[in-house]
Amino acid sequence: MYEILHKKTLSEVNKLMVIAAPEVARKARAGQFVIVRIGEHGERIPLTVADYDREEGTITIIFQEVGKTTMHLGTLEQGDELATFVGPLGHPTEIENYGTVVCVGGGVGIAPLYPIARALKEAGNTVVSIIGARNKELLFWEDEMRTVSDELIVCTDDGSYGRKALVTAPLKELLEQRDGEIARVWAIGPAIMMKFCAATTEPFNVPTIVSLNTIMIDGTGMCGGCRVQLTDGAKFVCVDGPEFDAHQVDWDLLLARQRFYLEEEKQAVGRWQHQCRLEARG
């Protein structure tokens, strides 16, 4: 069992938890992920590593409540325990001194972006970061991102904070203004955002890395549910990724595969909310 040592509500739907997992913390690196299962009846879900502390033996996860499991997770408190916490899984980010890099984080994608941006900064890169969310409420870790970035651009879809724009707008401007200067782009967030970031950087021929979050069970290459179609063949996100060359990904197929259990997810959420209401009534 893995204890929740600390919980912080970042927004109504975004939660941060620090989990006691000393063995995982020993090895975790930026770009990797863990698989979490709440209890005996729980499903296994992948969550990216938002931070780690080897000395304290902890892993920080940040999640957005989008389905039954993340909603349930959000109701747990400090002192509660998770049944399963497997990791570190996937390949770590390839950190080098590339020169100038752009890190783009959308919504809950800011969480996995942070340790990558930090590692890139530590490796000597000039880091320009763009973070965005639908609205001010959903934005988090602006300060954290600022400390690991040479420049930080903040935007919201509705303009409630920072610039009113999708993250692709400042990304495109940067690519135009500093043509030939930007060595690499990382884009992490909802699949649709990553798809458009990929489309934005492609004409500029700037290598672009995305971190994919797909349906997954074991996280070790066993189920193949996470497979993604690249121009040079199918790959498994869990063992070949989670980071891939954004320009190679078949985004439409990826989006379709993510929707496969949509009906069941809706059913589970409905059932969960019903239970919560009954419990609240008492």
Q: Where do runs of H (alpha helix) occur along the chain?
A: 22-27, 68-75, 110-122, 142-147, 168-177, 191-201, 237-240, 251-258, 262-281
Min dist CB 251 to other proteins, Å, is 11
Min dist CB 271 to other proteins, Å, is 5
* Residue number, 86 or 153, with CB nearest to other proteins: 86
Burial (CB count <10 Å: 0-12, 13-18, 19+), residue 73: buried
* Residue number, 245 or 250, with CB nearest to other proteins: 250
* Residue number, 82 or 174, with CB nearest to other proteins: 82
Q: How many CB atoms lie within 10 A of CB 273?
A: 12
To 5 degrees, how large is the angle CA 96–CA 129–CA 159?
165
Min dist CB 228 to other proteins, Å, is 8
* Residue number, 49 or 145, with CB nearest to other proteins: 49
Min dist CB 265 to other proteins, Å, is 7
DSSP classification of residue 246:
G
Report d(CA 186, CA 121) in Å as an integer: 13
* Residue number, 6 or 271, with CB nearest to other proteins: 271
Token digits of residue 16: 């941060």
* Residue number, 91 or 134, with CB nearest to other proteins: 91
| Contacts of 7 by beta carbon, 8 Å cutoff, 6+ apart | 15, 16, 17, 18, 76, 77, 78
Give me the residues that bind other proteins (CB under 8 A), please. Answer: 23-24, 27, 37, 41-44, 68-69, 83-89, 217-225, 227-229, 234, 239, 250, 252-253, 255-257, 259-261, 264-265, 267-268, 271
Min dist CB 264 to other proteins, Å, is 3
* Residue number, 218 or 245, with CB nearest to other proteins: 218
Report d(CA 65, CA 15) in Å as an integer: 8
- The CA-atom distances, in angstroms, between 102 and each of 4, 59, 107, 198, 247 are 33, 25, 16, 13, 16
Min dist CB 169 to other proteins, Å, is 29
* Residue number, 49 or 128, with CB nearest to other proteins: 49
Q: Where do runs of H (alpha helix) occur along 16-91?
A: 22-27, 68-75
**Cβ-contact 166, 158 below 8 angstroms:** no
Min dist CB 142 to other proteins, Å, is 32
Report d(CA 178, CA 204) in Å as an integer: 11
Min dist CB 192 to other proteins, Å, is 15
